[in-house]
Amino acid sequence: MNRTVEGTAPFGARLAEAVAARGPLCAGIDPHPGLLDSWGLPRDVSGMENFALKAVDALAPEVAVVKPQSAFFEAYGAAGIAVLERVIAQAKEAGALVLLDVKRGDIGSTMAAYAAAYLGGETRLDADAITVSPYLGFGSLGPALKAAGKGVFVLARTSNPEAARLQNALLDNGKTVAQSIVDHAAECNAGARPLGDVGVVVGATIAPGELRLDELNGPVLAPGFGAQGAGVAELHKLFGSPLRGVLAASSRDILRHGPDPAALREGARRIAATLAG
Q: Which residues are known to be catalytic? A: 103
Q: How far apart are CA 249 and CA 247, in angstroms?
A: 6
Q: At what angle do helices 261-276 and 232-239 cross, to 10 degrees?
A: 40
Sign of the torsion formed by the C-alpha atoms of 161, 145, 91 and 60: positive
CA 19 to chain centre: 13
